[in-house]
Structure 1
Amino acid sequence: MTKKSRRQFLQNAGIATLAAVSPLAAESERVKELFIHHVLFYLKDPNNAQDEAKLLEGLHKLAKVPNIAYVHIGKPAETSRPVIVRDYTFSWMCFFKNIIEEEIYQTHPIHLDFIKDYSGLWEKVVVYDSVGPKKV
């Protein structure tokens, strides 16, 4: 190995090491990792059909946030295994290309209007955010 090629090798190795531990490497992971945002809504009055219809209307408006890759609005399924939670009114699950898109969604005017206009209907929400596990 000549001095020039060895020097070039060491420079390339140093650049590769810096890239692997830099915040930019972590940022590139944030850009390519699927992000799932799952919310369970519990109405204050779960037997009120008008409140349920109004919240459903709001969820359909919320689904128009442009950076949502896929959205599913659901009701509890008619299943009865002991591990299944069925006490919520609506399930809102949306998929984003990455966490950055989800962060944009959180501050999008449609999302902020949804909270302002419909939060009076629910007594609580439970949120499950998930990403894929890191490869070992």
Structure 2
Amino acid sequence: MKDNSRRRFLQNAGIATIASVSPLAAAPEKQKELFIHHVYFYLKEPHNAEHEAKLLEGLTKLAKVPTIQYVHIGKPAETNRSVIVRDYTFSWMCFFKNIIEEEIYQTHPIHLEFIKDYGHLWEKVIVYDSVGPKKVG
């Protein structure tokens, strides 16, 4: 009887382990989709040159996270059309091979340190994440 109970326990534990695995691991197609992470930073003091330079310093450090394939740090362009938003301080756009690489970025020590060291500078961030095929056409 004890042997049977132990076996049942081990089987249930195995099922629980499988069920707790990330759905990303069970979806290999997610590993093939290019992942773009686009963040808009709004400084608490938008016209403070010192704070702007400090945030740029932090973003430059953040670009060293190894799973990032490409990074673009931008400021609002001098374009004027009704659909263009220009009220942010910095745009941070980075490309990852897939969502798994982006998840690694989210918990990477450099990213966590960036939030800790520079988070006091911004009043808000807006994030747009998107996925898609690696190549079109």
Structure 1, gaps ≥5 residues long: 1-22
Residue 35 of structure 2 contacts residue 98 of structure 2 at CA under 8 Å; is this kept in 1? yes
**Hey, what does 1:87 align to over in structure 2?**
87
In the superposition, the TM-score normalised over structure 2's length comes to: 0.78
Deviations 1:69-113 (A, max 9, x none): 000000000000000000000000000000000000000000000
Structure-2 separation of matches of 1:119 and 1:104: 20
Distance 1:24 1:62 in 2: 25
Q: How many residues align?
A: 111
Return 5+ residue gaps in structure 2 as ranges: 1-22
Check 1:44–1:131 CA distance in 2 against 1; reply closer, same or farther (3 A cut). Answer: same
Secondary structure in structure 2 of the residue aligned to 1:128: strand
Shift in Å, 1:132: 1.8
Q: Distance in 1 between matches of 2:87 and 2:24?
A: 42
TM-score with structure 1 length normalisation?
A: 0.78
- Hey, what does 1:117 align to over in structure 2? 117
* Offset at residue 30 of structure 1 (A): 1.2
Structure showing greater Rg: 1
CA RMSD across the alignment: 1.6
Alignment partner, residue 30 of structure 1 = 30
